Chains A and B, each alone.
Chain A
Amino acid sequence: MTRGPRGGLPAVALRVGSALEKHGIRGVLTGGACASLYTGGAYHSVDVDIILSGAVSQPELDAAMASIGFGRRRDRYVHPGLPFFVEFPRGPLAIGADHDIRPVRYRRGRSRMLVLSATDACRDRLAAFYHWNDRQSLGNAVRIAARHRVRMSAIRRWSSAEAALVRFEEFRLELDRLRTRRARPARSRVAPRRSTS
């Protein structure tokens, strides 16, 4: 019997990535799972989206996923012991109109996987905010940018190309607010009594 992946979504994504690599399949983790990775679990996703590059046949993919206990149900892979499912959305790997995406290698222990960089994971969330007015994605983009070094000039340039500079400014404002809140010294929960005299 194959031993399935254990743990939270990042651990599962890494096991999937390693299994794909072992089978010679190149895939990049994107979407909510990537956001979960970069927000330290502040955002919970139940699906692992991986964009494949190159030609991969269905039997090859089935075999790679079966090696870690995932079975195919329609166009997604499920594991009997896990609440997450894995999908392989059709490519190309792109964020908005930008398809020149350079993934980075994420490692934990012996597992490794290609994932979006922090800057690209941030842009990926912003794309949902820009195009769908999804404010949950704005919150996650802010969390990613607050926890990781992201290239703001690149994000601004891309936002301009997406005709979303106004929303980019909103993102920057939210990021500043979060940083200010974090920088402020913690205040006592009990407000000091005012003198009534």
Chain B
Amino acid sequence: MVVTTNSSPFGNVTRTRVLLALGLLEDSYARELARVLDLPLSGVQRALQSLERDRLVAARSVGRTRLYRLDPGYFAHADLGRYVTRLLEAESDLRRRVASLRQRPRRTGKPL
């Protein structure tokens, strides 16, 4: 079976894609995820809330931003990580989008 961006093993497509993106980004916030996944912010926020209720992801506050990641305290965290990694093998477009994001530091004041 070929897993595509439309597959939804985690309930719906948005939840699944958010999990996959977090699998690549490790730490991220709703707006960045919405941008990477090209999905409406409200939908991503709803997906994050429901994934948090299911304890698949957890968030901490950094200033006014809520940073999400796959919950390292979830009892099946290691298995979930492996599954997400496996699903990502079929997600070349998502991997390319994430790869285009700048994650390395940039000195304050330096023009973008």
Chain A residues with a Cβ closer than 8 Å to the other chain, count: 13
Of B54, B55, B60, B75, the contact of A97 (CB 8 Å cutoff)? B75
Task: Give residues 40-95 of B contacting A (CB, 8 Å).
Answer: 53-55, 58, 60, 72-78
Q: Which B residues lie within 8 Å of A131 (CB)?
A: 72-73
- Residue in A90, A97, A132 whose beta carbon sits within 8 Å of that of B77 in the complex: A97
Interface of A is mostly: loop
- The interface residues of chain A lying within 8 Å CB-to-CB of B75 are 92, 94, 96-99
B5 to A: closest C-beta gap in Å? 27
Smallest Cβ distance from A181 to chain B, in angstroms? 30
Chain A residues with CB under 8 Å of B73's CB are 96, 127-128, 131-132
Complex CA distance for A125 and B19, rounded to whole angstroms: 26
| Set of chain B residues within 8 Å of A99, measured between Cβ atoms | 75
A98 to B60 alpha-carbon distance, docked (Å): 23
* Interface presence of A89 (CB below 8 A): yes
CB closest chain-B residue, reference A94: B75
Q: Are A90 and B72 in contact (CB under 8 A)?
A: no
Q: Which of A70-126 contact B (CB under 8 A)?
A: 75, 89-90, 92, 94, 96-99
CA of A128 to CA of B58 in the docked complex: distance in angstroms? 11
> How long is the Cα–Cα vector from A149 to B9 in the complex, in angstroms?
44
Cβ–Cβ contact A90 & B55, under 8 A: yes
Report the nearest A residue to B54, measured CB to CB.
Answer: A90
Q: In the docked arrangement, what's the CA distance between A127 and B55, Å?
A: 14
Whole-angstrom distance between the Cβ of B36 and the nearest chain A Cβ: 24
How close is B48's CB to chain A, nearest CB, in angstroms? Answer: 15
Measured between C-beta atoms, what is the minimum distance from B22 to chain A in Å?
A: 15
* A and B contact pairs by CB, cutoff 8 A, 9 listed: A90-B53, A90-B54, A94-B74, A98-B75, A99-B75, A127-B73, A128-B73, A131-B73, A132-B60
Q: Write the residues of chain A forming the contact surface with B, with a CB cutoff of 8 angstroms.
A: 75, 89-90, 92, 94, 96-99, 127-128, 131-132
